[in-house]
Structure 1
Amino acid sequence: MKKFLLSPLSLLLISAALAIAGWSIYRQFNQTTPEQQYRMQAVEQGDISQTVSANGTINPVTLVNVGTQVSGTVKKLYVDFNNAVEKGQVLLELDNALLSAQLKQDMANVEIARASVELASANEARTRSLFNQEYASRLELDTAIQAKKAALSQMKLTQATVEKDRANLAYSVIRSPVSGVVIDRSVDVGQTVAASLQTPTLFKIAQDLSKMQINSSFAEADIGKIRVGQTVRFTVDAYPNRNFQGSVRLIRLNPTTVQNVVTYDVVINVANPEQILMPGMTAYVSIAVTERRNVLFVPNVALRFKPVEKSGANTKPRSETAKPKEDKRDGFSGRLYVMRNGQLLAVPVKLGITDNRNTEILSGDIKAGDQIVTGDAQGGSTAQTGTQPMRMRMF
C-alpha cells in the first residue's frame, strides 16, 4: 500500500485554516450583542414631586421663661422637671427676711409721716386763726400752709415705698404665669439668685406639649418655593421608621448670614397628640414644593451615562436628528441613550423637576416603555471618554 506524506508547508496551511474556522465559530456563538453590553431600564410614567430639605429643632409653641424680680436665697422648692403646673401655682419661695424687715421699716416711716401731717395741720389751723385776728402775718400763714403740704407729700412718699416693699415681698414667692409642664429647672434649694442687672431664669414652662413647632432654616435658593400652608413631612432620630407631618405657619423675613450663606427661618406647626416629640429633637424636614402627575420620568443615573465609543457598527452611538418638542415650561437640556433596532441612539430631551432620584422628561423622542441605558453591563454606571459625567442641577 502506498503512503502519502504531507509536507511541512501543507501542515501549516491546514492548521491555519482550522484555527480560522474555529475562531469564526467561536465568534458566531459568543459575540456580545449591543443589548448585552449595557444595563437597561424602561421609561416610566407616573407622579413625581420636587422637594426642598433642611434640618430644624422641635420646640414648644409657647415656652415661658420664669424668672425673679428680686434677689434672694431659694428657701423652698415645690416643683421639679416634668411636673405639670397650673397658672398661679407656687413654684418656689425665696428667703424674705430682708424684704419683711424693709417693709416694717417703711411702715414705721409712714407713721412718722402721718404724725408730721397732723402737726402741720394743727399749726396751719392755729396760724390761720391768728391771721384772721391780725395777730399773725401773711408770711407766717403761707409758711404754715407750705409745711402742711410738705408733710402730706412726705406721707404719700412713704406710703408708696410701703407698696413697693409689699410688691417685692410678694415677688419672693414665684408663681407659674401659665398652665403647662416644667421642662427646665435652673436652681436648687439654698442657691442665691441675683436680679441686679437682668432677670435670672429659674424655670422653663412649656404651655402645651400637644402642639409643637419646628424652627428650621432654608437657603435663599429654596425659600422662594415655600408658601404658608404647605404640607411638611419630617423624621426624627428617636423614631427612624416613622414619618411625621406638619404645615408651614410662618416664613420670617429676617435673614441670617453665616459665611456669606443667607438663610431664612421657617416655622412649622406640628401636632403632637401622643407627646412623643420632645423639645430639642432634631427634625429632618422635607417640603414638596412642586408636584407633577402622569408624566414621563427617568432615573438620574441614565442622564449621567455616557458610553465609550467602540469599534463596530452597532456599538458606536448615533444621534437622533429629531429635536425635543416645544414645551412652555422651563427646563434644562439633557441626553438619553436608547437601544432601538440593535443600535444605541443618543436622544436629546428637555428635563423638568427632579426628586433627586428621578427626573421628569418634558419633551423629546421618548415614550413610556422605551429601554434607556443606565450603565455598562460590566458594572460601571457611567462609561466616559476622558470627560466629566453630566451634572444634574437639583431644582
Structure 2
Amino acid sequence: MNKWIALVGVVIVIALVWFLNLSDPIQVSTAKVEQGTVAETVANTRSGSVKACRRSNLSLPLGGQISQINVTEGDRVTTGQLLLQLSNDDIKASIEQANALITAAKLEQQRYCVIADSDKHEYERVRKLVAQKLSTEEQIDLAEAKYRASAASCAASQAQVEQSLANLKMQEATLAKSTLYAPFDGIVAEVNGEVGEFATPSPPGIATLPLIDLINADCFYISAPMDEVDAGRLQVGQTVKVTIDAYRDQDFPGTVRRIAPYVYALEKQARTVEVEANITNSEAFPLLVGYSADMEVIISQQENTLRVPTEAVFDENKVYVVNNGTLQLKTIEAGLSNWRYTEVKSGLKQGDQVVTSTTQSGLVDGIKVVIQ
C-alpha cells in the first residue's frame, strides 16, 4: 500500500513539473556563492544612542537668586571656569564678620594669656617666699589657684580662636556652594535658568532640571539594549560593529566595554541587558551625543569561507540552485549565520547561482526559471 502511495506522489510531482514547464519560465533573483567573512552576531533589540564618556548635570546644593550666568548653550569651557553664580552678598558679609570675630578672639586670648603669665610669676615668687619662711601656706595656695584659673582662661581663649576659625571655614564653604565651576573641559549643552530667577536644590526623590548640562566631546561610546537570552554570550572586549543613522554608509569598529550586571524589566516590553561599546577610528566623523546607533557584537567569525545570502536558505539547510535554466533543490551543511550571510560548509561550490527570492510561489525542484 505504501508503495502505491509513494508512486502516486512521484507521479503528481512529475505531472506538476511537466505542467509548470509548459508555462513561461519563472523569473527569480539569484546571488553567487562566494568566499568571504561570515560572523555570528548579536544585535540590539531597540535603537541605542551615542553617549559621552563624561557628562554632568550640574546644579548647586544651595538655593538662591541667580546673579550671573557666564555661558550660553554651545559654549566650550575649560576646567575651573566660572559658569554660574548665585547672589551671595550676605555670605560675604558673614565672612567679614567671621574675620572680625577671629581678630577679637585673638586679642582676648592675648589678654588672658598675659594675665596667666603674670599669675604664674606671682605664684613662683610666693613659693620662694614660703621656702624662706617669709610667707604662709595660705598665700601660696591662693597664688596657685589664681594662676591655674588664669591658665585655664588662656586655654579657653585659644579654643575660642579655633572656634572662630572653624566658623570662617564654614562661611567660606557656604560661599563656595553659591558658585558653579566647570569640573572638566566640555561643551555646554543646556542652560536652565535666567539672571534674577531663583534656583533651588532638588528635594530627595524629586528630579529637577540641572542648571547646566555639560558634555565632554572628546570621547564617545554606544549604549544599546540586548535581549536577555543573548546576555550569556556577551563578554567585555568582544569586537563590535557600530552603525550610526547619521552616517548610514559607514561602519565604526568598537569593543564591548561594559555589560550591565542586571536585567532591565519593564512591563509589556522585552527584558533586556544594557551593553556599552567603545568606538574607535571615529575622528573623521563628528559625533553628537544623542545620535541613534545600533551595534552588532561578533560572537564568532570565519574568514575566507563559502557563503550565501541568508535569504537564500530555507528550512534551515535547503537552497535552490539555478543550473542551465532549471531549479535544483540542494541540501547544504550550514555553519555560522547572521541576518546577511550564512556559511556553507558543504553542498555548494563557489560560483553556484542560488535563488534569493525563495518566498515567491511556484518554486519546485526541476522547474524552468529565468534569472532577473
Q: Same fold (TM over 0.5)?
A: yes
Unaligned runs of 5+ in 1: 1-28, 306-332, 384-395
**What letter matches 2:259 in structure 1?**
R
Larger relative contact order (C-alpha < 8 A, sep ≥ 6)? 2
CA contact (8 A) 2:192 2:209 kept: no
Out of 104, 116, 123, the position equivalent to 1:124 is 116
Distance across 2 between alignment mates of 1:166 and 1:40: 77
Which structure 2 residues correspond to residues 356-375 of structure 1 after superposition, within 5 A?
356-364=339-347, 366-370=348-352
Tell me the equivalent position of 1:52. Answer: 42
Tell me the equivalent position of 2:271. Answer: 261
**What letter matches 1:99 in structure 2?**
I
Q: Deviation string for 1:99-151 (max 9, x for gaps)?
A: 02211222232233223313321332233233231452433332222221111
For 1:160, what is the secondary structure of its paired residue? Answer: helix
- 1:344 deviates by 7.2
For 1:258, what is the secondary structure of its paired residue? Answer: coil
Indicate how the Cα distance of structure 1 residues 272 and 204 shifts in structure 2: closer, same or farther if over 3 A, else same: farther
Tell me the equivalent position of 2:335. Answer: 352
CA contact (8 A) 2:322 2:328 kept: yes
CA contact (8 A) 2:65 2:199 kept: yes
CA contact (8 A) 1:35 1:342 kept: no
Say whether 1:62 aligns with 2:54. Answer: yes
**What letter matches 1:47 in structure 2?**
G
Tell me the equivalent position of 2:192. Answer: 186
Distance across 1 between alignment mates of 2:324 and 2:251: 48
Distance across 1 between alignment mates of 2:361 and 2:98: 89
Tell me the equivalent position of 1:109. Answer: 101
Out of 259, 264, 280, the position equivalent to 1:252 is 259
Distance across 2 between alignment mates of 1:276 and 1:97: 44
Indicate how the Cα distance of structure 1 residues 158 and 34 shifts in structure 2: closer, same or farther if over 3 A, else same: same
Distance across 1 between alignment mates of 2:317 and 2:345: 11
- 1:76 deviates by 1.4
CA contact (8 A) 2:252 2:282 kept: no
Say whether 1:174 aligns with 2:173. Answer: no
CA contact (8 A) 1:67 1:201 kept: yes
Say whether 1:143 aligns with 2:149. Answer: yes
CA contact (8 A) 2:235 2:256 kept: no
Distance across 2 between alignment mates of 1:116 and 1:281: 66
For 1:70, what is the secondary structure of its paired residue? Answer: coil
- 1:271 deviates by 5.0
Instruction: State the percentage of identical aligned residues.
Output: 20
CA contact (8 A) 2:240 2:277 kept: no
Q: Point out the more displaced range, 141-150 or 38-47.
A: 38-47
Tell me the equivalent position of 2:163. Answer: 157
CA contact (8 A) 2:244 2:294 kept: yes
Distance across 2 between alignment mates of 1:75 and 1:67: 15
Q: Deviation string for 1:291-339 (max 9, x for gaps)?
A: 334433344444337xxxxxxxxxxxxxxxxxxxxxxxxxxx6234567
For 1:263, what is the secondary structure of its paired residue? Answer: strand
Q: Which has the larger radius of gyration?
A: 1
Out of 89, 98, 105, the position equivalent to 2:90 is 98
Out of 184, 200, 211, the position equivalent to 1:202 is 211
For 2:118, what is the secondary structure of its paired residue? Answer: helix
Say whether 1:83 aligns with 2:75. Answer: yes
Q: Deviation string for 1:338-361 (max 9, x for gaps)?
A: 677999765443211223244222
CA contact (8 A) 2:63 2:201 kept: yes
Tell me the equivalent position of 1:291. Answer: 301
**What letter matches 2:291 in structure 1?**
M
CA contact (8 A) 2:332 2:344 kept: yes
Q: Deviation string for 1:235-287 (max 9, x for gaps)?
A: 22x44x43241311512352333157241422322555467321112112234
CA contact (8 A) 2:50 2:288 kept: yes
Q: How many residues align?
A: 323
Distance across 2 between alignment mates of 1:181 and 1:374: 49
For 2:103, what is the secondary structure of its paired residue? Answer: helix
For 1:304, what is the secondary structure of its paired residue? Answer: coil
Q: Deviation string for 1:170-222 (max 9, x for gaps)?
A: 44333223222111212221122234867984222223x24322122333444
Unaligned runs of 5+ in 2: 1-17, 127-138, 365-372
Distance across 2 between alignment mates of 1:375 and 1:192: 65
Indicate how the Cα distance of structure 1 residues 302 and 280 shifts in structure 2: closer, same or farther if over 3 A, else same: closer
